[in-house]
């Protein structure tokens, strides 16, 4: 048999296989539109990458609490959030490295809560943080750094499953819903430059007393990554601001705070524990949180953002881009979508008494 | 490197590509390099053991071959001077030396196997008997050691017997010992059979390649879709024996039978298929064993190469050994012809099954498993005149329905013996099997409790569908290979599309990745 004929046959089989895998992958990977919606965040960044002067990195304490649209509207500051659920500090570092492939912000705001986690917490959160990241050596290093013990046991398969997520999500064949078919080739936009909006209210009732810890020191790996974040910012001429977002749970211990204060002083960084500014900001935990103090709702986020905008103006040299056509054009659609979502949620809330998802439909 | 890994698939793709690109004379060298690379993945230290086996067996073979050649030359040159008795005496003298060399080689390799595999077992026995507290050594078992040592031992015995001349090229011999597809779980090949195709040259043959690829695909289907899914339920049921008694034990027998069959035959399909893609023929190891009518037939059809190995290298030599002949003579004299003639046969059978059990693992459960198999075989043989009379008297004995009953009976009998593997505790296994008759919990079949074993309803449906496919293929194999009769007769385009569809099905329905403990083949641990 002629070699060419054989090559054509094998190539044809491989091509059909690749096409089949691609289609099945589109079907089987989670769409994040009916649950774990925050899984959309990391991928969405690439649609608003470029021209952001401020970059927030961290977990839900940033993507639920800061509104880039409000920062733009009130201060002319362009910003984006690269957040993901339970984003650990190494995720944040690689998020920053990845961002630098697309833009160089002037200020990076890092929420220090993740300093408390010295080791990978769960595979699910790794997927939420890394699946959406575009392929590059940064992503590869992020995967390697983030693996849980179980993932590390089959390292090659784990890495391969980020290249071909079907290797991870193939067993979803028995969980498929209509949404998997509907959003097979495209999904919905969740965030507003990384901000995840919720307008409903669940007031804080009681704040359980935090149990004392046997050891308050942060893990070495966290300090290493914090230092890497600082160095990376330094190298790129970026001002790093450390914050602790004003959420009541999980508890932020004074002993932790002292270590961050000391570090910030040593490195000449701005650090603001916003928990100490709650009264100044005017956050009311009976109206400004949607889950009893873990995250702020739209009202709380807008209050916090307004205060933080002022803080940024005072502590950085960020420009006001309002009036610049290039920026205005970009932000007009974002403002519209922001308002639409707020209205849709308000409508659903008034009709049903509760929110079913973020889109209000 | 596990067959069920992306690394192996990549390794295989590269190896096959290079195999057909390099000059034909170099193909076997590439295979040797590939096999060393494959084996090195299990750790460089493991290479030492396989190297010792290959080198010692090679040298012993060469030496035996040289002595035999010298003997023949001497007799030829001195045929005029030597009378028949002198020739016989000379031959006996040489045979003694070759026997010594073979024995030393066997001793070295079996000794190595014994130390690595059975030291802890020996310590546990000593501790048990003498109430001592000697610590265990926990030697790591090098990958495939039982398989390659047995394969090498078969070779040296054959060379000693003069069945074939020893391999003169050490690298070629090293390939015979280390040929990567069969390193993990056999089959235990014979040198005279494997060497016919192992060293090539092999021109790319689309038909052979396609046949091999189909076989590999079929192996992955069985291993990844069925065995690696079923293992979850097997581990759950065997992990809490106090909780899972009665009907759960029956379920475990069934589940483990499915898992072991799909796992072991799947692995062998991959082995044979990979070899076929390289143009090499490897011995078949299974012949649809669950269609066996009795346990003797079952063992002719299950792990065939191991069964024939024990038969050829232990059972027959043992049966005709001088000591056994003495026992035979003694037993005939003391116990009479009828019983006396059975003694050496049954003694050899018991020894073989004891060894078979021990080969499977250094634990009492494997030994008891071997002896139980032996017991059933001996009892069956003793009762065979009764069966014959029964079959003559009743007409239904030769009907299909009765055959199905016999298959069913053999399946469950073997299944209940086999669970010794799973519980790994002899009294515990008997307790569990006894609970089938004493625990009335059959209602749990419909209580949903089976959905708490780590498998969802969808998983059970996937396994059921997989088993239906396996069963259908086995039935179709009555009329020959499904590949030849059905698949390979279709147009190329159809075959390619079906092949791809099955590969996609395996990708989706396979039990692998996070949450599954796929990969290791059950027989890899033996």
Q: How far is B490 from chain A (nearest CA, A)?
A: 15
Show the domain range for A121: 31-183+194-206+215-319+334-352
A160 vs B contacts (CB less than 8 Å): 6
Name the E strands within B162-267. Answer: none
Which of A143, A151, A154 should we substitute to test contact with B (largest number of B Cβ atoms within 10 Å)? A154
Average pLDDT, chain A: 92
- Using an 8 Å CB-CB cutoff, list chain B residues near A12: 496
Q: What is the CATH number of the domain that holds A44?
A: 3.40.50.1110
**Each residue's pLDDT tens digit, B263-283:** 999 999 999 999 999 999 999
| pLDDT band at B516; cut points 50, 70, 90 | low
**Closest CA relative to residue B107, chosen from B28, B52, B158:** B52
- Look over chain B and give the mean of its residue pLDDT values, rounded to a whole number: 90
Residues of A in contact with B508 (CB under 8 A): 24, 28, 166, 170, 173
B515 torsion bin: left (phi>0), alpha (psi -120 to 50), beta (else): left
Q: Edge-to-edge strand order for the sheet containing A239-244?
A: A79-83, A54-58, A107-111, A239-244, A270-273
Helices (H), A49-102: 60-63, 68-75, 89-99
Which chain B residue shows the shortest CA-CA distance from A175? Answer: B458
Contacts of A161 in chain B (CB under 8 A): 513-514
Q: Of B7, B500, B513, which is closest to A20 when you measure between CB atoms?
A: B500
Name the band, by pLDDT with cuts 50, 70 and 90, for residue B522.
low
pLDDT band at B518, cuts 50/70/90? Answer: very low
N-terminal to C-terminal alpha carbon distance within chain A: 60
From B207, B175, B202, select the one nearest B191 (Cα to Cα).
Answer: B175
Neighbours of B55 (CB within 10 A): 14
The predicted pLDDT at position B206 comes to 87
Q: Which of A89-103, A340-354, B64-78, B229-243 has the highest mean pLDDT?
A: A89-103
Asked if the model's pLDDT at residue B525 lies above 70, the reply is no
Would A266 be classed as within a structural domain?
Answer: yes
Q: Model pTM? A: 0.85
The residue-averaged pLDDT of A324-335 equals 92
Nearest to A28 by CA among A16, A37, A20, A36: A20
pLDDT digits (tens, 9 = 90+) for B66-105: 999 999 898 888 888 888 888 888 889 999 999 999 999 9
Pick the more confident residue, B339 or A61.
A61
CA distance readout (Å), A155 to A152, B228, B289: 5, 19, 37
CA atoms of B412 and B253, how far apart (whole Å)? 8
- Within a 10 A sphere around the Cβ of B355, how many other Cβ atoms? 16
Q: What is the ipTM of this complex?
A: 0.77
A317 pLDDT above the threshold of 60: yes
pLDDT at B396 over 80: no
**Higher-pLDDT residue of A196, B344:** A196
Per-residue pLDDT tens digits for B170-192: 999 999 999 999 988 889 999 99
**List of chain A residues whose C-beta atoms are within 8 Å of the C-beta of residue B490:** none
pLDDT (0 to 100) of residue B521: 52
Of B204, B499, B513, the CB nearest to A13: B499
Helix (H) or strand (E) holding A54: strand A54-58
Rounded Cα distance, A235 and B302, in Å: 67
* Residues on chain B touching A17 (C-beta within 8 angstroms): 500, 503-504
Residue B253 pLDDT > 90, yes or no? yes
The residue assigned the tokens 């007769």 is B489
Task: Say if B10 is an interface residue toward chain A (CB within 8 Å).
Answer: no
Comparing B519 with B100, the larger pLDDT belongs to B100
Bond prior to B310 in cis (omega within 30° of 0): no
Q: Please choose, from the candidates A286, A295, A302, A292, the residue with its C-alpha nearest in 3D space to the C-alpha of residue A64.
A: A295
Contact B511 A16 (CB under 8 A): no
Cα dihedral sign, A308-A313-A318-A322: positive
Which of A2, A125, A171, A173 is the best substitution to test chain B (most B C-beta atoms within 10 A)?
A171
Cα distance between residue B360 and residue B170, in whole Å: 29
- Encode pLDDT of B135-151 as tens digits: 888 888 888 898 999 99
**Count of domains forming chain A:** 1
| B360 given a catalytic annotation | yes
Task: State the nearest Cα–Cα gap between B218 and chain A, in angstroms.
Answer: 17
Q: Is B504 on the interface with A (CB under 8 A)?
A: yes
Choose, from B78, B138, B202, B360, the residue flagged as catalytic: B360
Decide: helix, strand or coil at residue A216: coil
A121-159 confidence digits (pLDDT tens): 888 899 999 999 999 999 999 999 999 888 888 888 889
Residue-by-residue DSSP string for B79-136: TTT--HHHHHHHHHHHHHHHHHHHHHHHHHHHHHHHHHHHHHHHHHHHHHHH---PPP
B2 touches chain A (CB under 8 A): no
Q: Which residues of B touch A6 (CB under 8 A)?
A: 204, 206
pLDDT score of B524: 54
- What pLDDT, in 10s, does the model give residues B432-449? 999 999 988 888 888 888
Q: Where are the alpha helices (DSSP H) in A136-194?
A: 137-146, 149-153, 155-163, 166-169, 178-182
Task: Measure the CA–CA gap between B30 and B277, rounded to whole angstroms.
Answer: 15
Report in angstroms the alpha-carbon separations of B127 from B119, B134, B364, B365, B424.
12, 6, 14, 18, 19
Locate B277 and state its tokens. Answer: 């893609």
> In this complex, how many residue pairs, one in chain A and one in chain B, have their CB atoms less than 8 Å apart?
66
| A361, B175, B305, B363, B523 from B141: Cα distances, Å | 60, 21, 22, 14, 13
Averaged pLDDT, A85-112: 96
Q: Is B479 or B307 the better-scoring residue by pLDDT?
A: B307
What is the predicted pLDDT for the residue at B515? 60
Q: Which of residues 185-244 of B touch A (CB under 8 A)?
A: 204, 206
Alpha helices by DSSP H, listed for chain A, are 3-28, 41-48, 60-63, 68-75, 89-99, 123-130, 137-146, 149-153, 155-163, 166-169, 178-182, 220-235, 254-267, 278-281, 298-315, 325-352
Contact (CB, 8 A) for B231 and B281? no
Would the CB atoms of B508 and A123 count as touching at under 8 Å?
no
When scoring B229, B507, B518 by the number of chain A Cβ atoms within 10 A, the one with the most, hence best to mutate, is B507
In this prediction, residues A71-99 reach a mean pLDDT of 95
Residue A174 lies in a domain: yes
Cis peptide before B201 (omega within 30 of 0): yes
- Scanning B287-363, the segments in alpha helix (DSSP H) are 295-301, 304-310, 316-319, 322-335, 337-340, 342-360
**Percentage of chain A modeled with pLDDT above 90:** 75
pLDDT of A248 > 50? The answer is yes
Phi then psi for residue A57, to 5 deg, are -130, 140
For the cut 90, the answer to whether the pLDDT of residue A343 exceeds it is: yes
Q: For position B361, what pLDDT does the model report?
A: 85
In whole angstroms, give the CA distance from residue B417 to residue B419.
6
Task: Give the one of B492, B504, B510 whose C-beta lies nearest to A21's C-beta.
Answer: B504
Residue B500 near chain A (CB below 8 Å):
yes
Distance from CA of B4 to the nearest CA of A (A): 10
Instruction: Check pLDDT > 70 for residue B32.
Output: yes
Nearest chain A CA: its distance from B316 CA (Å): 46
The reply to whether residue B509 touches residue A170, judged by beta carbons under 8 angstroms, is yes
């Amino acid at each position: 048999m002629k070699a060419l004929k054989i090559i054509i046959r094998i190539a044809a089989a491989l091509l059909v296989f690749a096409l089949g895998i691609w289609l099945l992958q589109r079907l089987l990977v989670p769409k994040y539109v009916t649950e774990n919606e925050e899984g959309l965040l990391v991928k969405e960044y690439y649609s608003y990458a470029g021209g952001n002067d401020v970059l927030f990195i961290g977990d839900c304490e940033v993507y639920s609490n800061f509104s880039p649209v409000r920062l733009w509207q009130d201060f002319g500051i362009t910003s984006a959030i690269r957040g993901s659920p339970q984003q650990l500090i190494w995720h944040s570092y690689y998020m920053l490295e990845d961002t630098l492939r697309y833009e160089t912000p002037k200020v990076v705001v890092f929420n220090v809560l993740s300093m408390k986690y010295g080791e990978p917490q769960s595979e699910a959160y790794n997927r939420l943080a890394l699946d959406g990241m575009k392929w590059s050596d940064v992503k590869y290093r992020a995967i390697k750094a983030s693996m849980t013990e179980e993932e590390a046991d089959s390292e090659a398969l784990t890495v391969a499953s980020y290249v071909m997520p079907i290797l991870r999500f193939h067993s979803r064949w028995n969980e498929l819903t209509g949404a998997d078919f509907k959003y097979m080739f495209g999904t919905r936009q969740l965030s507003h430059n990384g901000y995840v909006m919720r307008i409903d209210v669940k007031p804080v009732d009681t704040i359980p007393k935090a149990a004392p810890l046997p050891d308050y020191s942060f893990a070495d790996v966290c300090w290493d990554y914090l230092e890497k974040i600082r160095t990376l910012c330094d190298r790129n001429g970026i001002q790093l601001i450390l914050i602790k977002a004003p959420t009541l749970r999980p508890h932020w211990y004074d002993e932790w705070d002292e270590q961050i204060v000391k570090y910030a002083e040593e490195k000449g960084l701005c650090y603001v524990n916003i928990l100490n500014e709650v009264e100044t900001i005017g956050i009311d935990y009976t109206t400004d949180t949607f889950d009893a103090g873990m995250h702020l709702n739209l009202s709380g986020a807008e209050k916090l953002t307004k205060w933080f905008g002022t803080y940024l103006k005072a502590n950085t040299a960020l420009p006001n881009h309002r009036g610049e056509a290039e920026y205005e054009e970009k932000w007009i659609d974002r403002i519209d979508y922001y308002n639409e979502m707020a209205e849709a949620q308000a409508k659903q809330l008034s009709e049903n008494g509760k929110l079913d998802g973020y889109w209000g439909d | 490197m596990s067959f069920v890994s992306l690394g192996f698939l990549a390794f295989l793709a590269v190896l096959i590509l290079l195999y057909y690109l390099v000059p034909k004379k170099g193909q076997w060298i590439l295979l040797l390099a590939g096999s060393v690379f494959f084996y090195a993945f299990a750790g460089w230290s493991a290479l030492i053991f396989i190297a010792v086996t290959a080198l010692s067996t090679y040298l012993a073979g060469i030496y035996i071959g040289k002595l035999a050649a010298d003997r023949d030359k001497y007799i030829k040159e001195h045929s005029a001077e030597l009378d028949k008795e002198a020739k016989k005496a000379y031959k006996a003298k040489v045979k003694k030396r070759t026997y010594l060399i073979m024995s030393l080689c066997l001793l070295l390799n079996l000794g190595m196997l014994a130390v690595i595999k059975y030291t802890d077992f020996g310590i546990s026995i000593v501790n048990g008997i003498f109430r001592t507290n000697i610590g265990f050594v926990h030697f790591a078992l090098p990958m495939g050691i039982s398989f390659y040592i047995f394969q090498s031992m078969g070779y040296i015995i054959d060379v000693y017997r003069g069945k074939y001349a020893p391999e003169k090229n050490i690298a070629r011999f090293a390939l015979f010992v280390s040929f990567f597809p069969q390193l993990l779980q056999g089959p235990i090949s014979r040198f005279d059979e494997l060497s016919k195709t192992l060293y090539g040259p092999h021109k790319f043959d689309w038909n052979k390649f396609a046949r091999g690829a189909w076989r590999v695909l079929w192996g992955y289907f069985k291993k990844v879709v069925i065995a690696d899914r079923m293992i979850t339920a097997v581990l759950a049921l065997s992990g809490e024996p106090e909780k899972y008694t009665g009907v759960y034990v029956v379920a475990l027998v069934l589940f483990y039978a499915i898992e072991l069959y799909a796992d072991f035959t799947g692995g062998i399909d991959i082995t044979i298929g990979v070899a076929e893609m390289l143009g090499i023929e490897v011995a078949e190891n299974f012949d649809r064993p669950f269609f066996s009518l009795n346990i003797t037939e079952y063992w002719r059809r299950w792990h065939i190469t191991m069964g024939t190995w024990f038969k050829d290298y232990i059972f027959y030599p043992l049966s005709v050994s001088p000591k056994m002949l003495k026992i035979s003579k003694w037993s005939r004299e003391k116990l009479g012809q009828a019983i006396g003639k059975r003694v050496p046969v049954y003694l050899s059978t018991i020894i073989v099954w004891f060894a078979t059990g021990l080969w499977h693992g250094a634990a009492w459960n494997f030994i008891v498993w071997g002896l139980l198999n032996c017991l059933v075989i001996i009892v069956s043989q003793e009762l065979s005149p009764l069966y014959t009379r029964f079959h003559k008297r009743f007409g239904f004995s030769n009907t299909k329905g009765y055959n199905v009953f016999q298959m069913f009976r053999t399946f469950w009998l073997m299944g209940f013996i086999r669970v010794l593997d799973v519980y790994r505790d002899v009294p515990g296994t008997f307790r569990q099997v006894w609970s089938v008759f004493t625990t009335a919990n059959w209602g749990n079949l419909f209580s949903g409790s089976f959905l708490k074993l780590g498998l969802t309803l969808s998983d059970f449906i996937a396994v059921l569908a997989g088993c239906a496919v396996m069963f259908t293929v086995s039935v179709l194999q009555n009329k020959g290979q499904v590949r030849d009769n059905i698949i390979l007769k279709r147009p190329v385009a159809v075959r390619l599309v079906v092949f791809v569809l099955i590969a996609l099905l395996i990708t989706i329905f396979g039990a692998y990745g996070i949450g599954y403990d796929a990969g290791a083949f059950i027989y890899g641990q033996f």
